[in-house]
């Protein structure tokens, strides 16, 4: 199954929603710290409801720790970005992919952007900035699961 990775998330409600999605789809979430909120935050639990306890959450204390784990596991890293050119529905996914989502406020630093194996975009109407991160995660995860027959 593809996994989801959250790079230093800012908003607990979005993280809770993504944890709920992951629990329902039986995928792991890798949270790359530091988060912009306490992980015991009430908003996180409220958004994720009782699904948060059922989610497979793996915490990585830094980008470097996550990067080391990802390299050891030999898994491909796919960054969702508004600066990408490759449309997410035209990409060929594998079961071992990791879908990396940046911070809601600022995305990822250039070094993380450059490090990703592939960068994917969700096309939108001209003049629109971005979708909610939980919506974006659901769209791309759904396509990855469909293509790989993982669910």
Kindly report, residue by residue over 42-79, the tens digit of the pLDDT: 666 665 567 777 889 999 999 999 999 999 999 999 99
Name the more confident of 43 and 87: 87
% of the chain beyond a pLDDT of 90: 73
Find residue 99's DSSP bridge partners: 4, 78
Hunting for tokens 């669910």 — which residue is that?
151
Distances (CA, A) of 119 to 17, 63, 112: 23, 17, 11
φ/ψ of residue 120, rounded to 5: -120, 150
- Full-model pTM: 0.93
Confidence of residue 134 (pLDDT cuts 50, 70, 90): very high
pLDDT at res. 9: 95
What per-residue confidence (pLDDT) applies to 38?
Answer: 81
Task: Name residues whose C-beta falls within 8 Å of residue 49's C-beta, 6 or more positions apart in sequence.
Answer: 16, 20
What is residue 127's predicted lDDT score, i.e. its pLDDT? 87
Q: Are 73 and 65 in contact (CB under 8 A)?
A: no
What's the pLDDT at 120? 98
DSSP β-ladder status, 56-60 and 3-7: unpaired
User: Who contacts 151 (Cβ-Cβ below 8 Å, separation ≥6)?
Assistant: 1, 25, 26, 145
Distance CA 11, CA 50 (A): 18
| Relative orientation angle of helices 12-25 and 133-148, to the nearest 10 degrees | 20
Given a cut of 70, whether residue 100 has pLDDT beyond it is yes
Alpha helices in the chain (DSSP H): 12-25, 42-48, 63-73, 110-115, 133-148
What are 62's two structure tokens?
A: 């830094």
* Arithmetic mean of pLDDT over the chain: 91
């Amino acid at each position: 199954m593809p996994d989801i990775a959250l790079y230093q998330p800012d908003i607990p409600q979005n993280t809770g929603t993504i944890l709920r999605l992951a629990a329902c789809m039986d995928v792991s979430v890798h949270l790359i710290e530091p988060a912009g909120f306490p992980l015991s935050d009430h908003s996180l639990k409220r958004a994720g409801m009782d699904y948060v306890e059922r989610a497979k959450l793996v915490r990585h204390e830094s980008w470097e720790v996550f990067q080391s784990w990802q390299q050891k596991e030999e898994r491909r890293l796919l960054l969702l970005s508004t600066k990408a050119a490759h449309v997410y529905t035209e990409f060929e996914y594998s079961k071992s992919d990791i879908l990396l989502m940046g911070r809601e406020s600022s995305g990822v630093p250039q070094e993380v952007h450059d490090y990703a194996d592939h960068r994917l975009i969700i096309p939108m109407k001209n003049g629109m900035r971005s979708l909610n991160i939980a919506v974006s995660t659901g769209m791309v995860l759904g396509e990855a699961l469909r293509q790989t027959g993982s669910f």
